[in-house]
Amino acid sequence: EDKVVQSPLSLVVHEGDTVTLNCSYEVTNFRSLLWYKQEKKAPTFLFMLTSSGIEKKSGRLSSILDKKELFSILNITATQTGDSAIYLCAVPLYSGGGADGLTFGKGTHLIIQP
Amino acid sequence: DTGVSQDPRHKITKRGQNVTFRCDPISEHNRLYWYRQTLGQGPEFLTYFQNEAQLEKSRLLSDRFSAERPKGSFSTLEIQRTEQGDSAMYLCASSLSVRSEQFFGPGTRLTVL
């Protein structure tokens, strides 16, 4: 069965710390992996990763994919209280009908303490 | 605002009643998805439309659930004879193509009493 596993499920750090969030996956017909940030509302898109070993970066956030070991990490440096959120990892499941519904992990609940 | 919109944002209903939610995707997106999210879980895929055609339904979508996208623009999700287990956040997303990211709406939070 296809699955996406995130760790840790929760993490509490102090402002200014660096955090690394993990996502491992077991899916057939892998094509991409996505990271989303969810506060008290809908998930907002962060990164889409398709190629192994190429880091994607946006400000203090960065992510990289390892297709051989089937995992991805999301790094946040110099964390701020506004980074507090649930970070979701997802992989599209491609069916013969062309659908690509996302399978999500349970998310990492990140809390940044001032 | 040209993002995905959903209506209503909150719905409280009694068990056994029918409810209908609406989703308006980003205007140029022909792919539309419905997800359900419960507390402590990531969103779970329910169904997918490409234009007006419903091309995939998850096994999570019981016979009490029906979704439509009649003109290939907005979509509705109806739940008949609601049960307490249907209480969840219902999220809609849209995307431009099969290899592009999905953008999510704010969701409809359903509470079944």
pLDDT(A18) > 90: yes
Q: Which residue has the higher pLDDT, B107 or B58?
A: B107
Q: Measured between beta carbons, which residues in chain A are less than 8 angstroms from residue B30?
A: none
Q: Is A27 on the interface with B (CB under 8 A)?
A: no
pLDDT at A97: 59
Closest CB from A42, A102, A103 relative to B107: A42
Q: Is A105 on the interface with B (CB under 8 A)?
A: yes
Query: Are B48 and A99 an interchain contact pair (Cβ–Cβ within 8 Å)?
Result: yes
Average pLDDT over residues A64-75: 94
Buried b or exposed e, range A73-97, using 16+ CB within 10 angstroms:
bbebeebeeebbbbbbbbbbbbeee
pLDDT(B1) > 60: no
DSSP A15: T
Mutate to test the interface with B, among A6, A37, A41 (most CBs of B within 10 A): A41
Maximum distance among all Cα pairs of chain A, rounded to whole angstroms: 48
Query: Are A45 and B99 an interchain contact pair (Cβ–Cβ within 8 Å)?
Result: no
Query: How would residue B55 be classed by pLDDT, with cut points 50, 70 and 90?
Result: confident
Q: What 3-state class would DSSP assign to B43?
A: coil
Calculate the alpha carbon distances from A102 to A94, A99, B45, B95, B105 in Å: 9, 9, 6, 12, 15
Query: Are B56 and A95 an interchain contact pair (Cβ–Cβ within 8 Å)?
Result: yes
Q: Which range, A50-54, A90-94, B54-58, B80-84, is most confident?
A: B80-84
Average pLDDT, chain B: 93
pLDDT at A2: 67
Least confident of A36-45, A52-61, A94-103, B86-95: A94-103
Between A and B, how many CB-CB pairs are < 8 A?
Answer: 66
Q: Is A99 on the interface with B (CB under 8 A)?
A: yes
- Strand segments, DSSP code E, in B42-86 are 44-50, 53-57, 65-68, 75-79
Query: Are A106 and B35 an interchain contact pair (Cβ–Cβ within 8 Å)?
Result: no
Mutate to test the interface with A, among B102, B103, B108, B109 (most CBs of A within 10 A): B102
Query: Are A101 and B58 an interchain contact pair (Cβ–Cβ within 8 Å)?
Result: yes
- Taking CA–CA distances from A43, the nearest residue in chain B reads B104
Query: How would residue B100 be classed by pLDDT, with cut points 50, 70 and 90?
Result: confident
